[in-house]
Amino acid sequence: MQIAARARIDELSKAAVRAAWAMGDYHRFATDLVWDLGAKLVAACGIAAGQRVLDVAAGTGNTALRAAAVGADVVASDLTPEHFDAGRREARRCGVTVDWVQADAEALPFADGEFDVVTSSVGAMWAPDHRAVAGELLRVCRPGGTVGMINFTPEGLLTDFLAVFAPYMPPPPPGALPPTLWGSEDHVRALFGDHVAALEMTRDTYVERLPGGPAGYCEYYKRTFGPVTATYAGLSDPGERAALDRAFLEFATRANDGPPGGPAELRFEYLLVVART
């Protein structure tokens, strides 16, 4: 019974996660703010024509489309297939072909060693079972292949961002680890361990720049970023919504590096991981 109950909890949790990420306008969010990260990851992994590439938690394709553009044979997988229509439209616009497959990063539906390169740009880090994700990324990558990731760091702004919303969101499933742990070098080493021949990790930052100052930043996230949209949608108490608005605006104001009266500029730190299997 305990195993069956845990499986049911996991199923319900994943359904809720899928529903949350399907809200808002993720493609607009991705193209406005994190699209350049895909190109950085493709370059860091040395993806080239003729390679078979899997992009895990691909969203609308910020990494997958860049890999296809250099001639790779690309599969884009995501728990939320609602993203795929926007990804297909973007692929047509770019003149590339990508296969889109619904898949859970903790249990990928692909054969052992099927891919030359496996990537994930601020995507697989959100799955709660880090060890399962690491095992799957390594399993589907061929010996001598490459696993590349971009993950937010625990010391960066995402930790404070998540702290704003945590009191208003459903609790994570039992045993879930914080997504930002994927941005810790020690944590990544522990996950990949002896399964990789080489492991390179580099910290860098990118800037989220949005018009309207901190208030504009908050409103943009409420309209486009699915988990934020879902959190607000789940609050029926006006007092709770007002409290969340205040906390979110305080975060955006505190973190803003933009000029007074100008666009908001929030700088997020990430860890670029390149592992050779």
The DSSP code for 105 is T
Closest to 176 in 3D by CA, of 4, 6, 20, 3: 6
Q: How many CB atoms within 10 Å of residue 239?
A: 8
Closest to 106 in 3D by CA, of 121, 128, 83, 123: 128
Contact 120, 57 (CB under 8 A): yes
CA distance 116 to 141: 6
Helix, strand, coil shares of the chain as percentages rounded to 5?
A: 50, 20, 25
pTM: 0.94
Q: What region does 13 belong to: left with phi over 0, alpha with psi -120 to 50, or beta?
A: alpha
At residue 63, φ and ψ (nearest 5 deg) are: -95, -45
Please return the burial class of 32, using the count of CB atoms within 10 Å of its CB with bins 0-12, 13-18 and 19+: middle
Contact 87, 60 (CB under 8 A): yes
Helix axes 226-233, 157-165, angle to 10 degrees: 20
Contact 92, 85 (CB under 8 A): no
Contact 224, 263 (CB under 8 A): no
pLDDT per residue of the chain (277 residues) written in tens, 0 to 9: 455 545 555 677 899 999 999 999 999 999 999 999 999 999 999 999 999 999 999 999 999 999 999 999 999 999 999 999 999 999 999 999 999 999 999 999 999 999 999 999 999 999 999 999 999 999 999 999 999 999 999 999 999 999 999 999 988 888 899 999 999 999 999 999 889 999 999 999 999 999 999 999 999 999 999 999 999 999 999 999 999 999 999 999 999 999 999 999 999 999 999 999 9
What does the CA dihedral 26, 29, 32, 37 come to, rounded to 10 degrees?
-80
CA distance 139 to 219: 41
Instruction: Please tell me the total number of residues recorded for the chain in this structure.
Output: 277
Contact 226, 24 (CB under 8 A): yes
The DSSP code for 183 is G
| CATH of the structural domain 2-161+171-206+268-276, one choice from 3.40.630.30, 1.10.260.40, 3.30.930.10, 3.40.50.150 | 3.40.50.150
Write out the two tokens for 109.
């539906």
The pLDDT score that the predictor gives to residue 9 is 53
